[in-house]
Structure 1
Amino acid sequence: MINFDFLEKNLETLRIQYLSAQPFPHLLIDNFCDEEKLLKAYSNVPELNNKSRDYAFANNKFEKSNYKEICPEFLELYNDLSSERFNKILAFITAKKTFVDPKNFGGGLHQGKKNSFLDMHLDFNYHPLNKNWYRELNLLLYLNKDWKPEYKGQLKIKDLRTNDEAALDVPFNRMIIQQCAPYTLHGYDMTNFPEGRYRTSIATYAYQVHEMLIETPRTTDWFPKEDASFWKKQFAKNYNLLVKTKNRFFGSATAKNQ
């Protein structure tokens, strides 16, 4: 499914593009997958009904973690993304010993319906189950057929250290590899897709093993817009504590959107 030959022939170029990108390391790869296979996978995407757990900060966003069961093409994609061949490519591009979570905890098929948005945020840093796995990368493969800028939904990224930001287009068959760090904010503004069309992506995450924890483990940190309500801002400020308390008593729901 993945165009491995292209990636392996352009490793040096991709590495330079990733490491030199602003406001922080990221990489855009068009034609990431075999077009015919990805179109077939796209034709099998159902309308999802599992609402995102981040409902307070994500409007009309739906998820399915176990997307590989939808069709053979998605199973092939899942296997390619978690393969040793792809891990070697990622490690070279990022100049770090990164690897894709083979169980894709927290990832999957994401679908933003009418007026969908996702507030700017920092992702959890250490894997909830493998406590010394540090989240290094978001890998986002977009399935927005015939996407146009006026549909909106561009991936917004912002560096908390400098406040520099960028908006990245999200057309069909584009992979965006984005660094995860304590300063790498990302999200997207309210979409304007035509009726019956959705902002669709496959989310996968890559990690590095840490012998010593370099940060305090956290869940998602949210950064609502300035014009957000007082209650939303207070919820964002206390989100980490509330989630940790909930998980202690009831466990994590992150892996339940099958």
Structure 2
Amino acid sequence: MQIVDYDRLSERESELAAAFADAEPFPHMVIDDFLDVGACAAILEEFDRPDETDIWGHYVHYNERKLGATQLDKMGPRTQAVVRELSSPKFLAWLERMTGISGLIPDPELDGGGLHKIERGGYLNIHVDFLAHTTHRNWSRQLNLLIYLNRDWDESYGGALELWDKNMTRRVREAAPLFNRCIIFPTTPGSYHGHPTPLSCPEGESRKSLALYYFRDEGKPQRLTPTNYRARPEEPFWKHGLVAADRWALRAYSFMKRYVGLRDGIIQRLLKRF
């Protein structure tokens, strides 16, 4: 199975690198038809495996409501092949040329990444992702890569990825989560993104994606900076307070993961009850 058409991407290298560098509100690129269409279709076909119903962890708190799968060995074989290709030295070299970020490392644990599923009513508040790996203490997070898997997505369902300016004063761009659309952007203290409005897709539909995060070994422990959620400026004061309270709870959880050894599976088994 062909996964990435490197010849086609090579033809667009100058265009894509320039688009990434010049994009607002922070560097990013949006590439349609990113994977070989058969490879993207294979991920979608394997997305909900009837023999792996326990693959999904529940991310349910005030700032997000979604399902995630991070155990690569429980994903379908073709999905595993795609993740391996997007973690390969050849692909990492392409990412480094496009972004100017050197020393990229894939995350074998898919911490916070992997397959994401957001069902009707689900959402992800505007945020900056965690800036250092929870367990690999020398790793700083450098880059996000998102591939959407939604055929025939009606934009009235919502779910567009919103990109906000670093001061969280305005939404600058949004991109619909269309099938085989890839969005790549750096993980920085100002790369605010999310889809805060709950999905209005029909029951049984969901917003599906593959998320991969890339790191760099800095040679010394990195300060643990958990996901920084923010309320939108037009939202009421009480919501700003709830977003902040949940953010601090998540900060405590992240510190427990790093320093106490708390694992996601323990919390997610509890969240499945809600």
Matched, 1:46 2:48: yes
Q: Secondary structure of 1:52's match?
A: strand
Distance between the aligned counterparts of 2:263 and 2:74, measured in 1? 22
- The runs of 5 or more residues in structure 1 that have no matched partner are none
Residues 99-149 of structure 1 deviation map (CA, whole Å, 9 limit, x = unaligned): 242402221100001111101111111112222221111100000111121
CA distance in 2, matches of 1:172, 1:98: 30
Q: TM-score, normalised by structure 2?
A: 0.83
Deviates more, 1:170-179 or 1:190-199: 190-199
Percent pairwise identity = 25
Alpha-carbon deviation of 1:45?
1.4
Which of 227, 242, 261 lines up with 1:232 in the alignment?
242
Query: Aligned-pair distance for 1:230?
Result: 6.8
- Residue 155 of structure 1 and its aligned partner are, at CA, apart by 0.5
1:5 aligned residue: 7
CA distance in 1, matches of 2:22, 2:69: 33
In structure 2, the residue matched to 1:206 is 214
Alignment of 1:74 onto 2:82: no
Give the structure 2 partner of residue 253 of structure 1: 264
Unaligned runs of 5+ residues in structure 2 are: 269-274
Alignment length, in residue pairs? 256
Partner of residue 68, structure 2 = 63
Q: Is the 8 A contact 1:2 1:34 kept in 2?
A: yes
Paired position in structure 1 for 2:229: 222
The separation in 1 between residues aligned to 2:266 and 2:87, in whole angstroms, is 17
TM-score by length of 1: 0.88
Structure 1 partner of 2:180: 173
The residue number in structure 2 matching 1:92 is: 97
Residue identity in the other structure for 1:199:
R
Structure 1 residues 46-71: Cα deviation after superposition (integer angstroms, max 9, x where no partner): 17663433522112x11111256432
Shift of 1:158: 1.1
Residues 90 and 98, structure 1, Cα contact 8 Å, conserved in 2? no
Tell me the residue number matched to 1:123. Answer: 129
Per-residue deviation at 1:245? Answer: 5.0
Q: Distance in 2 between matches of 1:15 and 1:255?
A: 41
SS at match of 1:115: coil
- Please provide the CA RMSD for this pair: 2.7
Q: What code does the residue aligned with 1:251 have?
A: L
